[in-house]
Structure 1
Amino acid sequence: MMKITTQFDAGSVIVTDLSNPANIRLKLRPDNASDFAQWFYFRLQGAAYQNCVMHFENAASSAYPAGWEDYQAVASYDRQNWFRVPSRYENGVFTIDHTPLANSVYYAYFEPYSHEQHLNLLGDAQGSGLCQIDDLGSTVQGRDINLLTIGNQVASDLKVWIIARQHPGETMAEWFIEGLLGRLLDPQDPTARALLDGATFYIVPNMNPDGAVLGNLRTNAAGANLNREWLEPTVERSPEVYYVREKMQETGVDLFLDIHGDEAIPFVFAAGTEGVPSYNERMAALETQFKTAFLAASPDFQDVHGYDKDKPGEANLSMATAWVGEHFRCLAYTLEMPFKDNDNLPDSDFGWNGQRSLRLGESILSAILNVLPDLRA
């Protein structure tokens, strides 16, 4: 007998009809306190060697319908090794067509990054002896908002802030942080040593732990899109942003990176602060310098495809990159990775995945090192 369950960390789907493996009818479940729907993660049991055709019947009304075009879902038998499975989007319905080779198989929108992995990441970082963990406060549901501080923390140090996973369904962002931390905390890595000679890193690996556990795509437990809360965050609605912003104002910021994933665009790209009031020629030159160094560090990065640049003075200052870039007059970037694949370097078996995100996190340290001497005027 077939069975679908979601009662685990980040599980999310609505089952409409499970009577016929060739016509499994599903719906995307919205975030717990908002209408955003795109993330799914579920376990299918009892269907080994049967051709399972799973239809998400409300895909056309999801948060990003264009995200389903040319997208392939991911599957795993052990929740460690994830691979792409045949999928299609037709007439507003997203369909997975897969014959599982075992009685238990998981399907997800992207390779998950669980709360247990998150806690293990914190423990491993602290165990390096180079990292201090601070508790900035609690989320709406009482989970910890943890900050990793790496460096000498002297006044002369440049202050590099990196946050990830404001949108909890963008799990590639925490995979990215895992890679970045692995390299930054390696005492034998010359790039890491050079960086920590002149900079202190402040890293929030998961800005939205409530949303992550709840299986939300984009919001926290109160229904707040954290990347629209930076102008006036409150402890009641967006404590994650409130406490991080308070700490930033205490330390200062010389470089800011906000790590995300994009549902529709099949490339790795960055978005800067062209639209903030203080944007000037010096900032434009710093952006060019950073992107040039990142292009040299990783063939996965590119600067042709991405978001349209904001016109002067039209940036949305409720977004993290715009608010931080304007408030601290610093180099600030949003980095986006694909849910689909990187069309410049496609991989038909895995698409863009956790390991590729991790490697990108390693490589960005070279770009940071390149601009470090020029961050302060």
Structure 2
Amino acid sequence: MIKISTSFDAGSVVVKDAGDPANIRLALRPDNASDFAQWFYFRLQGAAYQHCTMHFENAAASAYPEGWEDYCAVASYDRQNWFRVPTRYENGVLTIDHTPLANSVYYAYFEPYSYEQHLNLLGDAQGSGLCQIDDLGSTVQGRDINLLTIGNQVESDLKIWLIARQHPGETMAEWFIEGFLGRLLDPQDPTSRALLDRATFYVVPNMNPDGSVLGNLRTNAAGANLNREWENPSLERSPEVYFVREKMQQTGVDLFLDIHGDEALPFVFVAGTEGVPSYDSRMADLETQFKQAFSAASPDFQDEYGYEKDAPSQANMGMATAWVGEHFRCLAYTLEMPFKDNHNLPDDDFGWNGQRSLRLGEAMVSAIWNVSDKLR
């Protein structure tokens, strides 16, 4: 007998009919307090060696239906090793075709990053002896908003901030942070050692713990899209942004990176601050140097495809990159990774995944080092 369940961290799907393995009818479940729907993560049991066809019947009504084009879902038997499975999008229906080789298999929109992994990441960072954990406050549902501080914390240090997972379903962002921290905290890495002589890093690995556990794509437990709250956050609706912004104002910011994933574009790219009022030729030159350095550090990065640039003074100041870049007059970027595959370096078996996100995080250390003497 087939069973589909989601009673675990980030589990999310609506089961309409699972009686026939050849015609399993599913639906995407919206975020708990908003209409955004795209993330799914569920466990299928009792179907070993049976060909299963799973239809998401409301895929056309998802937040980003263009994200289903050329997309393949991920699957795992042990929740550690994830691989892509045949997936197609036709007539508004997303269909997964797969014959599981065991009685228990998991399917997800992208390789998950659990709250338990998040807590382990914090513990490993603290255990390095180079990092301290601070509690900035609590989320809507009472989870901790933790900040990792790495460096000497002297006034002369550059102040470099990285945040990730404002949108909780973009799990590649926390995989990126894991890779970044792994290299930055490596005492044998000369680039990291040199950087930490020059800069203090402030890292928020997960801006949206509530949404992550709830299995939301884009919002927190109150239904707020955190990356639209930066101009005027509130303790009631967006405490995650409120507390992080408050800490930034205490420390200052010389470089800001906001790590995300994009549903539709099959590339790694950045979006900057061209649309903020203070944008000038110095910032344009600094952006160019950063992108060249990042391209040299990782062939996965490219600058040909991405979002359309904002017109002068037309940036949405509710977005983190725009608000931080303008308020602190600093280099600020949103980094986007694909949910699909990187079309510049495709991998048929795994597509873009957690490990590739992690490696990109490692490469970011080199890019930051390259521009560190120009940030002030």
**TM class, shorter-length:** over 0.9
How far residue 120 of structure 1 moved from its aligned partner, in angstroms, is 0.1
Paired residue secondary structure (2:197): helix
Q: In the alignment, what sits opposite 1:126? A: 126
Taking the aligned partners of 1:192 and 1:310, their CA distance within structure 2 comes to 33
Question: The residue matched to 1:168 in structure 2 has which SS?
Answer: coil
Q: 1:241 maps to which residue?
A: 241
1:167-178 to 2 correspondence within 5 Å? 167-178=167-178
Unaligned runs of 5+ in 1: none
Task: Please list, as runs of the form range in 1=range in 2, the aligned pairs for 1:186-201 lying within 5 A after superposition.
Answer: 186-201=186-201
Q: Which residue of 2 aligns with 1:65?
A: 65
- What is the deviation of 1:200? 0.1
Distance, in Å, in 1 between the alignment partners of 2:247 and 2:19 is: 53
User: Are 1:83 and 2:83 an aligned pair?
Assistant: yes
How far does residue 221 in structure 1 lie from its aligned partner after superposition? 0.2
Give the CA deviation at 1:270: 0.3
TM-score (norm 1): 1.00
What residue identity is the alignment partner of 1:199? A
Corresponding position of 1:344: 344
Task: Give the whole-Å Cα distance in 2 for the aligned partners of 1:23 and 1:191.
Answer: 53
Separation in 2 of the partners of 1:185 and 1:193? Answer: 8
In the TM superposition, 1:311-350 aligns within 5 A as 311-350=311-350
CA–CA distance in 2 between the matches of 1:85 and 1:260?
23
Cα deviation digits, residues 308-334 of structure 1 (max 9, x gap): 000001000000000000000000000
Matched, 1:96 2:93: no
* Counterpart secondary structure, 2:315: coil
The match for 1:38 is 38
User: Quick one: distance in 1 between partners of 2:54 and 2:355?
Assistant: 27
Give, in angstroms, the shift of residue 26 of structure 1: 0.2
Q: Deviation per CA, 1:278-319, whole angstroms, max 9, x where unpaired?
A: 000000000000000000000000000000000001000000
Give the letter for the 1:225 counterpart. N
- Partners of 2:86 and 2:38 in 1: CA distance: 18
| 2: CA distance, partners of 1:127 / 1:366 | 23
Does residue 112 (structure 1) correspond to residue 112 (structure 2)? The answer is yes
2:97 and 2:358 map into 1 onto residues whose CA distance is 29
Matches within 5 A, 1:218-257: 218-257=218-257
TM superposition shift of 1:105: 0.1
CA distance in 1 between partners of 2:115 and 2:5 (Å): 18
> How many positions carry a matched residue from both structures?
376
Q: Within 2, Cα distance between the matches of 1:195 and 1:63? A: 39
CA distance in 2, matches of 1:79, 1:162: 27
| Distance in 2 (alpha carbons) for counterparts of 1:160 and 1:237 | 27
- Per-residue deviation, 1:196: 0.1
Provide the rounded CA distance (Å) in 2 between the counterparts of 1:108 and 1:278.
41
Match of 1:12 in 2: 12
* 2:362 corresponds to: 362
Which residue matches 2:157?
157
- Mapped partners of 1:47, 1:217: distance in 2: 28
Runs of 4+ displaced beyond 2 Å:
none
Match of 2:291 in 1: 291
**1:366-377 correspondence to structure 2 within 5 Å:** 366-376=366-376
- Secondary structure of the corresponding residue to residue 135 of structure 1: strand
Q: Which residue of 1 aligns with 2:208?
A: 208
Report the Cα distance in structure 2 between the residues aligned to 1:195 and 1:9, rounded to whole angstroms. Answer: 36
**Cα distance in structure 2, aligned partners of 1:73 and 1:8:** 19
- Tell me which amino acid in the other structure corresponds to 2:289: Q
- Whole-Å separation in 2 of the counterparts to 1:15 and 1:339: 23
Residue 24 of structure 1: CA displacement?
0.3
Counterpart of 1:156, as a letter, is: S
Q: Distance in 2 between the 1:277 and 1:355 partners?
A: 38
The offset of 1:150, in angstroms, is 0.1
Structure 1 residue 276: Cα displacement: 0.2
Aligned partner of 1:290: which letter?
Answer: F
CA displacement 1:325-357 (0-9 Å, x = unmatched): 000000000000000000000000000000000
Counterpart CA distance in 1 for 2:231 and 2:272 is 18
The separation in 2 between residues aligned to 1:53 and 1:310, in whole angstroms, is: 42
TM-score, structure 2 as length reference: 1.00
Percent sequence identity over aligned pairs: 85
In 2, Cα distance between equivalents of 1:328 and 1:233 = 17
Q: What amino acid is the match of 1:27?
A: A
